[in-house]
Amino acid sequence: MANIQHVARQAGVSVATVSRVLNGQDTVSAKTRIKVEDAIKKLNYEPSMLGRNLRNSESRILLILIPSIKNPFYLEVIKGIENIAISQNYNILLCETDSNPERENIYFDLVRKKMADGIISMDPAVNVETLKKLAENHAIIQCSEYAEDSGIPYITIDNEEASYLAVKHLIKLGHEKIALVNSDEKYLYARQRKLGYVRALKEHGLSMNEQYIIHTEELGFEQGQQAMKKIMQLADRPTAVFAVSDLLAIGALKEINANGLHVPNDMAVVGFDKIDFSNMTNPTLTTIAQPMYKMGTIAAKMLINQIKGEHVDSIILDHELVIRESTLG
Amino acid sequence: MANIQHVARQAGVSVATVSRVLNGQDTVSAKTRIKVEDAIKKLNYEPSMLGRNLRNSESRILLILIPSIKNPFYLEVIKGIENIAISQNYNILLCETDSNPERENIYFDLVRKKMADGIISMDPAVNVETLKKLAENHAIIQCSEYAEDSGIPYITIDNEEASYLAVKHLIKLGHEKIALVNSDEKYLYARQRKLGYVRALKEHGLSMNEQYIIHTEELGFEQGQQAMKKIMQLADRPTAVFAVSDLLAIGALKEINANGLHVPNDMAVVGFDKIDFSNMTNPTLTTIAQPMYKMGTIAAKMLINQIKGEHVDSIILDHELVIRESTLG
DNA sequence: ATGAAAGCGCTAACAT
DNA sequence: ATGTTAGCGCTTTCAT
């Protein structure tokens, strides 16, 4: 494989000049440039990122930390990140932690070892202390889930308000007994979404029933089914469910159907995220739309700016209630 | 940031010795090893992959080429690749081409420029000529979709046989008018799956109706809906549909429901891939299971072996028919 | 406008 | 068992 030396020799110039041509510097005469370009072509030369990266002390790789690639919520965000990354000559390393601290540490090591220039953390289960320490020396952005007091810039939505909006929608439809399928309240977003739920009930003079609040370990389909099973067994059964993820809601949907009940007539359902699949179910799912793609693009821009040494501010994006069949009789 | 020189000075040894400790070589005395380890700790030293990679002429990155991250089929395969990669100290660069040749070329450049050590190509729309040329100098494995004559090792399933199995299942249930929702026959797997469909019909004395064969641009939900719309309009409507992806099948399901018909009584449906969602729909989807995770692990092993310079052979994995509600009255 | 040369951080061949 | 040193391929400063 040809290297820059070979090209220089072939073109009869110095490596410095070849490097200048490679990097599009305008201090090279047209004649020389052509000589170099010919040599490059003739030798089938491809500049090595390995040499360049060492020299520049950068990897041009962004690390994205997600709990699981199986959660479709992340896919759209990743698309956004990816497009910005590519346009700025970065590449992304997609890292699934499976909420496993060991895995997490392997990935953190990548940035410690300069294999990645920065991190976009989307893992709610991330070790905040480690993240904070890492942030002292490395570029880090929190996306979607964040630790408030970490001092690490984040981009997210107003979870409390979004949740409030969802529950208010159900209340306006006449529902008074509304279940909440939430994830573990060790996560900030879970606490925020519960606050919105509680606020909506309170504002409309509805009492809160602790039995109506189900906590799940994960945000998946099976957990939604399980949660709905519990709800089905309640003596005073609710007439509506708000689940904090579409996958949970879809699991609930399935379980409601399995019990021979009808959505939304017997039980209305609202999800969260507006993943693609929320429109493929029968009935289609009312849900809170997050601007996932946009969130990804902004997160990427934030990270790249931070890598450049600029100061970046946290951002809160808008959400939107998308009303579909699962709440429309 | 400390480098290997600093550590050497701090420990009072040479950089060579530090490197030996770093790489776990047993030619270092216990006393020296401890001195070095202390120095590493004291300086908070982290070895730079940038230096190591240049020196070793490797990036320890595997490039995975997929058309779109939105197709859940790939997710499970990626999981498999990822786990093997991690265990062998590789990382994966997930590259979506969106079947866009420009994108594809950006990614191919990464391996040309030594940013990646090899490629697992899963993109049916890949430019085979480019791939072949690249394979002359780089490690490449084809996964799932492949070009027969390329000489590039592949891992896949027997698409013709799998398709035959699916259609035979429908025939055994008594269906005689079976539609095929296939993707563009420019893809090998599409041609293979059509062959299986044709063979099943022939073997059971059923005539083939060209009207029953619908081609779609992509394998998604919307395309499934569109295809089903066309099928619904046929004068002599089929009683069963075999779609070559679960997403297509789920789209078909939705459209059938929208027409007030019942699955499977009015129309039986079979999908392909056994993605997670195929079990979340109502009714659940009969489908052909591909061993996606296993396919990923083997593809990764094949690629890593190829990077090491070993010869690797192509592999065909088993498939399985999973019978669920969409074909069971 | 171009070249010479240093050096990014590491590994390994060779020497001791 | 340990040290010296060359060199992986590139960019950039300093000279000219």
Predicted local confidence at residue B10, as pLDDT = 96
Domain with CATH 1.10.260.40 in chain B: 4-47
Q: Own/partner pairs for A12-15, CB < 8 Å, 24+ apart?
A: none
| Cβ within 8 Å of residue B290, ≥6 positions away | B73, B144, B157, B162, B272, B273, B274, B317, B319
pLDDT tens across B86-137, in order? 999 999 999 999 989 999 999 999 999 999 999 999 999 999 999 999 999 9
pTM above 0.85, yes or no: yes
pLDDT tens across B289-314, in order? 999 999 999 999 999 999 999 999 99
pLDDT tens across B244-285, in order? 999 999 999 999 999 999 999 999 999 999 999 999 998 999
Q: For chain B, positions 210-269, list CB contacts with chain A under 8 A.
A: 221, 250-251, 253-254, 257
Predicted local confidence at residue B292, as pLDDT = 96
| Cβ within 8 Å of residue B308, ≥6 positions away | none
pLDDT tens across B220-242, in order? 999 999 999 999 999 999 999 99
DSSP string covering B279-320? GTSSSPPEEEEP-HHHHHHHHHHHHHHHHTT-----EEE--E
Helices B128-137 and B101-112 meet at what angle, rounded to 10?
0
Nearest CA in chain B to A91: B93
Say whether pLDDT at B219 is over 90: yes
Kindly give the parts of chain A with pLDDT less than 50: none
Which residues from A are below 8 Å from B259, CB to CB? none
**Closest-CA distance of chain B to residue A103, Å:** 9
Domain with CATH 3.40.50.2300 in chain A: 61-157+292-317, 159-290
> What pLDDT band is residue B61 in, cutting at 50, 70 and 90?
very high
In chain A, which ranges are continuous DSSP H helix? Answer: 4-11, 15-22, 30-43, 49-56, 72-87, 101-112, 128-137, 159-172, 188-203, 221-232, 246-258, 292-307
Q: Would you call A54 and B50 a contact, using CB atoms and an 8 Å cutoff? A: yes
Q: Which fold has domain A159-290?
A: Rossmann fold (3.40.50)
| Cβ within 8 Å of residue B56, ≥6 positions away | none
Three-point CA angle A91, A95, A101, nearest 5°: 145
A4-47 under CATH 1.10.260.40, yes or no: yes
pLDDT tens across B137-192, in order? 999 999 999 998 899 999 999 999 999 999 999 999 999 999 999 999 999 999 99
Q: Provide φ and ψ at A82, rounded to 5°.
A: -60, -45
Predicted local confidence at residue B1, as pLDDT = 84
DSSP string covering B170-215? HHHTT---EEEEEE-TTSHHHHHHHHHHHHHHHHTTPPP-GGGEEE
- Which residues of chain B (56-75) touch nucleic strand C at CB < 7 A? 56
Pair A242, A268: CB distance under 8 Å: no
Which residues from A are below 8 Å from B103, CB to CB? 86
Which residues from A are below 8 Å from B109, CB to CB? 46
Say whether pLDDT at B70 is over 90: no
Q: Would you call B50 and A91 a contact, using CB atoms and an 8 Å cutoff? A: no
Kindly report the CATH number that applies to the domain delimited by A61-157+292-317: 3.40.50.2300
First-to-last C-alpha distance (Å) of chain B? 68
